[in-house]
Structure 1
Amino acid sequence: MTLATVAILFLAGFLSGVVNAIAGGGTFLTFGAMTMIGVPPISANATSSIAQFPGYITSTWAYLADIKRMWRGALAFAVISAIGALCGSLLLLSLDNVSFGALVPWLLLAATALFAAGPWLRPKKLAERPEGAPSSRAGRAVQFFTSIYGGFFGAGMGVMMLATLGLTEGGDYHRLNALKNMLSIVIAAVAIVIFASGGVVTWAAAAAMVPGVALGGYAGVWLARRVPQVIVRAFVIAVGIFLALYYFSKG
């Protein structure tokens, strides 16, 4: 890779970390940057999962106390998520770049619409749920399909999980966010193992983006206090629409 390419990927990673810290949706930036510099869609998708992984870990660590209080239900969700992510990532590897490339604009549009609708998808009044209560059957079933999507593509996965967990599990926002962050680690970890063993990860691109994501996540906390979330959300939605139109034009 040229120095300019490394700089582009680092910047994409940095901006991704910033928007993830403020509003979510950073995957749009890392995936889009890689495909626009010529990385095949499947490799870009796989590598983006690796680039976002450190952010999942740090976010989960911040909620460790909450996770300990609901570990039984969280463990059941983690097992279901691992199985779903395995199915989704294997499904991705079963496709070639042409087939997956044809799906990309539709996936981007769906993820962008989901991200845009995020504030309205969150239940206004969440049901109370006792600490440590086991997960519901409906919640586990829905999480299985969400994790298939997460293993296959991943963009908008966090918004989807917050919405579905809120509808099926209830509890306060921080409980849901803690569970979402932990399950994101599980889904991404399984996908990374499968993608790495399948030889579709562009490690040089990942190495260029990961430091940017880490720095962006730190800077995003500072910016979150100063930049209205609506501006960041509008930026992410605009990027998602632009990328979808870009891939439609290539098809």
Structure 2
Amino acid sequence: MTPSIAILLFLAGFLGGAINAVAGGGTFLTFGAMTLAGVPPISANATSSVVQLPGYITSTLAYWSDIRRMGRGALVLCAASILGSFGGALLLLSLDNPRFQSLVPWLLAAATALFAAGPWLKPKPRHAAEAMQSKGVAPGLLQFPTAVYGGFFGAGMGIMMLATLGLTQGGDYHRLNALKNLLATVIALVAIFVFVSGGVVAWAEVLAMAPGVALGGYAGVWIARRVPQTAVRLVVIAVGLALAVYYF
């Protein structure tokens, strides 16, 4: 790996971690940077899950005071995330690189479209007290397919979770974002276990990118509280569209 590629991966990791902490979509950058650096598509996708983990963890820790108040409902969502991510990661490993590469532009285009539609998919926040009430099995049923997608590919997973969590959870944006970061951590941990067991992780790229993701993930919470969401969303949409066109 050349120094210029290492710097590219570090910067992509920092920006990806920050974007994931704000609204999701950082996988557009990390996956794109690794494939441009010559990593095969399946390995790039699996490695992207590994390098996103530090950002998910630091973002979750930054919201820890909010997460501690969520109670039993968060555990149900974590269980659905474990099952879904395991299935999605196994599905990825069942494909070969040419078959997965043929899916990549369509996945990127779909994820970008979903991300762009995010503000219209999320309902108005409900009263915080309502967020503490039991919602039965509905939250887990909605979280499961999102976790399958997260284990399989992951780009746009954050906005998918914000949209589905908004249907079953109360509270403001920051409460939903805190829960999204927690569940993204769970999904990534399960997928990483499968990918490491399958031997498809590019560890040199992990070492170059992971420190940037960790720093970006923590900085992203600061950004989320100060930078207009519209500006961040436009950047993510532009990157997603550019990558989709490139891979097509």
Tell me the TM-score normalised to structure 2 length.
Answer: 0.91
The corresponding residue for 2:214 is 214
Q: Report deviation, 1:55.
A: 1.4
C-alpha separation in 2, matches of 1:37 and 1:134: 46
Alignment CA distance shift 1:234-1:3 (3 Å): same
Instruction: State the percentage of identical aligned residues.
Output: 68
Structure 1 portions without partners, runs of 5+: none
Task: Give me the whole-angstrom Cα distance separating, in 2, the residues matched to 1:24 and 1:140.
Answer: 20
Deviations 1:104-162 (A, max 9, x none): 11110111111111222221243665464334322211111111011001111111111
1:66 counterpart = 2:66: yes
CA contact (8 A) 2:54 2:210 kept: yes
How many aligned positions are there? 248
Moved more, 10-19 or 84-93: 10-19
Bigger drift between 110-119 and 213-222 goes to: 213-222
Equivalent position of 2:232 in the other structure: 232
Counterpart of 2:186?
Answer: 186
Conserved 8 A contact 1:74-1:135: no
- CA deviation after TM superposition for structure 1 residue 60, in Å: 1.5
Which residue does the alignment assign to 1:54?
54
After superposition, give the CA deviation of every residue in 1:219-239 in whole Å (9 maximum; x if it has no partner). Answer: 545656775433332222111
- Counterpart of 2:84 in structure 1 is 84
2:235 partner letter: F
Give the Cα–Cα distance (whole angstroms) in 1 for the partners of residues 6 and 121 of structure 2.
37
Name the counterpart of 2:124: 124
Distance 1:177 1:225 in 2: 11
1:133 aligned partner: 133
Counterpart in the other structure of 1:11: 11
Give me the whole-angstrom Cα distance separating, in 1, the residues matched to 2:75 and 2:225: 33
Residues 131 and 170 of structure 2 are in contact (CA less than 8 Å); yes or no, is this contact kept in structure 1? Answer: no
Q: Structure 2 stretches of 5 or more lacking a match?
A: none
Relative to structure 1, the CA distance from residue 183 to residue 17 in structure 2 (aligned partners, 3 Å threshold; closer, same or farther) is: closer
Question: RMSD value over aligned CA atoms?
Answer: 2.1
Question: Conserved in 2, the CA contact under 8 Å of 1:13 and 1:213?
Answer: yes
Alignment CA distance shift 1:65-1:219 (3 Å): closer
Deviation of 1:75 (Å):
1.0
- Counterpart CA distance in 2 for 1:227 and 1:131 is 26
168-177 or 104-113: which moved more? Answer: 168-177
**Matches of 1:2 and 1:158, distance apart in 2:** 32
Q: Distance in 2 between matches of 1:229 and 1:172?
A: 14
TM-score by length of 1: 0.90
Residues 1:158 and 2:133 aligned together: no
Worse overlay, 3-12 or 37-46? 3-12
Q: Deviations over 1:164-222 (max 9, x none)?
A: 11112334333322221111111000000000110010011011001112233455456
Q: Measure, in 1, the Cα distance between the counterparts of 2:222 and 2:108.
A: 28
- Taking structure 1 as reference, are residues 113 and 66 closer, same or farther at Cα in structure 2, changes over 3 Å only? same
Q: Which aligned pairs between 1:30-49 and structure 2 lie closer than 5 A?
A: 30-49=30-49
Alpha-carbon distance in structure 1 between the residues aligned to 2:128 and 2:22: 27
Does the 8 Å contact 1:17/1:214 carry over to 2? yes
Q: What amino acid maps onto 2:197 in structure 1?
A: S
Give SS of 2:117's match. helix
